[in-house]
Structure 1
Amino acid sequence: MTLHPPAMRNRVAAQLVIEHLLSRQTAVPPRTPVARLFGKSPLCPESVSWYLGAQGEITVGKVLATLPPDWTAFHAVPIGKNDTDIDHILVGPGGIFTINTKHHCGKHIWVGTRTVMVSGHKKAYLPAAEHEAERVTTVLRERMPLLAPVQPVIALVDPKQITFRDKPVQVKVLDARVLRRWLLKLQPVLSDDEIAEAVVILDSPATWRQHPSPAPHDVMARFAALDGQVRRARIRRVSWSIVASLGLCGGAVTAALLIEQAMLGG
């Protein structure tokens, strides 16, 4: 019996990022009971950026899941020789898009014609997004030579403010919260047949670099467990901060645990 790799649409948002995160966490020793009591994060410093990145991709994945059924989203698409992926590829009436997710909670974002700055630091987001779209365009045009270029998009998750000095020529930069509305306002540019053909190409594992991965539900179950630990640790740190600000001495541990229980909803 021949076993075929799973279709690309079965991959979940942030799958490759989560795999990297879980791999790094295997070397992290378990927290002591005291460390857990005081809310030490289970994440090692090297894992924090992977964790935040996963949260951002999952957020955008949830947005894409709310689109009408004539839109198809692919997540964590492995491409190239290195261990890299494209966060999301989206196909629908409004066109074909590569969506690069950037999680910058509470940050000020400045966007120019060729530059994106995050809290004053330049980021090479625009050329990277353009390159991703060009790669997918090349892949699709091998079978659909008349296809229009793929549109690169950068979806910013939870920014405090986005300031546009100038709008980039090729890349659409927007807040992830308005991504769905923007997509649905686009004029149709693809026929049903073109959408179906593009989906078949993108859905085939043979189109992409083969990346051995555990089953998506196993990846997400392990991430959910880790995410729960991170959130509980954060609540404990907040609890202790409240106790300290109130100047409580006697019964401080009990007070902290009661606050934590209340914040968790009992």
Structure 2
Amino acid sequence: MSDLRQRVPGHSLIDMLLHQWDIGTIRLDAATNGVVVDDKAVSWYRGVIGERRVGTILDSLGTSHTVLHSVPVGKGSSDIDQVVIGRAGVFTINTKYSPGKKVWVNGYGLFVDGHKQFYVRNSAAEARRAADLLSEASGLTVPVTALIVFVDPGPITHKGPAGGGEHDPAIRVLADAELFRVFMDRPQFSDEQVARIVAAAVRPATWHRSPAESTAGHHITREFEALEEEVGPHLARAFVAPSKVSVPRMPAPSARDRVGYGRARPNATRNRARSAASRRPASRKRQSYLDRLFSGVAVPAAGLFGLWIYLNVITGK
């Protein structure tokens, strides 16, 4: 893939979920009618849900902005959830799916339901990296604003501005419902400057030292929707209470695995068939009952009938 605009919300996380689905470490369990999944995969699934929600909001920007999803950056498996480019500026988005959670922020302190998180420092570093890479690739000075976007949160309390370090970019903490108007701010770039930044931003090599082939966006969307149909309700319940059925934590797929997704998914059909089969325990029980009935009643009855015919023949009746 030579243009990052072909990637979809949650692309990298979906890749990892599909890898686990294909090797069977995410699956429905016929015995418990539950889902076999570990905490890490539940976290990935939550991340995809959040990024897809934010992606829907960003779709409403239309052609006035360029939106890149799940941008691979650096030299490993890290990515930026979303990058948005328009006349109002360049923004990196760090999406957090925290339905109903209370958020408190002041400087580098950010707490979600009383638990300290390092989202501000991480998002500031992400925006600085994006600014450096885009400035180098475009030949322009490209300031980048870091957005930490909470999806469906409870109240967000701002005791002070986020960040505040000498070299920090602008950082904003907000709910997804507030996101759209951020991109309506006063223009910072001309149309020509935006075009130069976009031309640099859509190239995978701008962001990653060794960019790998990506799965086609339409393909990975279709595969995720199939996974969501199979195990989504179970994973949604795991948001509230972890599944009683678990497996050891699994490593993320290698670069070779991710390339493989773009060409063929030979195990996907087999695993979908296995998952579909696990949804039919009642039919299997009915079949077993009929088998037992046949062997316990019908077979002996047939034997007695045959014996009766034989005795009638030899006695001449």
TM-based fold match above 0.5: yes
Distance 2:227 2:62 in 1: 32
With 154-163 and 206-215 compared, the bigger mean Cα shift is at 206-215
Deviation digits for residues 77-108 of structure 1 (CA, Å, limit 9, x no counterpart): 10111211011110001100111111111111
Paired residue for 2:206? 207
Paired residue for 2:230? 229
Which runs of structure 2 are paired with 1:168-179 in the superposition (5 Å)? 168=162, 169=164, 170-179=170-179
| 1:50 and 2:44 aligned | yes
Q: SS state of the match for residue 28, structure 1? A: coil
Paired residue for 1:67? 61
Q: SS state of the match for residue 84, structure 2? A: strand
Structure with greater helix percent: 2
Paired residue for 2:119? 125
Distance 1:14 1:236 in 2: 20
Is the 1:108–1:159 contact (alpha carbons within 8 Å) kept by the matching residues of 2? yes
Distance 1:208 1:167 in 2: 29
Could you tell me how far 1:214 is from its partner in structure 2? Answer: 2.4
Deviation digits for residues 209-260 of structure 1 (CA, Å, limit 9, x no counterpart): 20333222222112111212234447999xxxxxxxxxxxxxxx9xxxxxxx
Inter-CA distance 165–34: structure 2 relative to 1 (3 Å threshold): same
Q: What is the TM-score with the length of structure 1 in the denominator?
A: 0.79
Is the 2:20–2:26 contact (alpha carbons within 8 Å) kept by the matching residues of 1? no
Which runs of structure 2 are paired with 1:1-266 in the superposition (5 Å)? 5-25=1-21, 26-28=23-25, 30-36=27-33, 40-41=34-35, 43-168=37-162, 169=164, 170-184=170-184, 186-209=185-208, 210-233=211-234
Deviation digits for residues 177-226 of structure 1 (CA, Å, limit 9, x no counterpart): 11002322x00111000111100000112313203332222221121112
Deviation digits for residues 100-148 of structure 1 (CA, Å, limit 9, x no counterpart): 1111111111111111111111111011111111111111211445424
With 104-113 and 160-169 compared, the bigger mean Cα shift is at 160-169
Distance 1:236 1:8 in 2: 33
Distance 2:129 2:83 in 1: 12
Is the 2:6–2:216 contact (alpha carbons within 8 Å) kept by the matching residues of 1? no
Residue ranges of structure 2 left out of the alignment (5+ in a row): 165-169, 239-281, 283-317
Distance 1:235 1:95 in 2: 35
Paired residue for 1:243? none
Is the 1:42–1:229 contact (alpha carbons within 8 Å) kept by the matching residues of 2? no
State the AA in 1 paired with 2:173. Answer: V
Identity %: 34
State the AA in 2 paired with 1:12. Answer: V
Pairs aligned (count): 230
Is the 1:42–1:230 contact (alpha carbons within 8 Å) kept by the matching residues of 2? no
Greater Rg, structure 1 or structure 2? 2
State the AA in 2 paired with 1:74. Answer: L
Residue ranges of structure 1 left out of the alignment (5+ in a row): 238-252, 254-266
Q: SS state of the match for residue 35, structure 1? A: coil
Is the 2:72–2:204 contact (alpha carbons within 8 Å) kept by the matching residues of 1? no
State the AA in 1 paired with 2:103. Answer: I
Distance 2:50 2:205 in 1: 28
CA-based RMSD: 2.2
Inter-CA distance 214–148: structure 2 relative to 1 (3 Å threshold): closer
Deviation digits for residues 147-178 of structure 1 (CA, Å, limit 9, x no counterpart): 24111111111112211111214311100111
Inter-CA distance 173–32: structure 2 relative to 1 (3 Å threshold): closer
Q: SS state of the match for residue 100, structure 1? A: strand
Is the 1:72–1:91 contact (alpha carbons within 8 Å) kept by the matching residues of 2? yes
Distance 1:143 1:45 in 2: 38
Is the 1:95–1:150 contact (alpha carbons within 8 Å) kept by the matching residues of 2? yes
Q: SS state of the match for residue 27, structure 1? A: coil
Distance 1:128 1:236 in 2: 29
Distance 2:109 2:236 in 1: 37
State the AA in 2 paired with 1:130. Answer: A
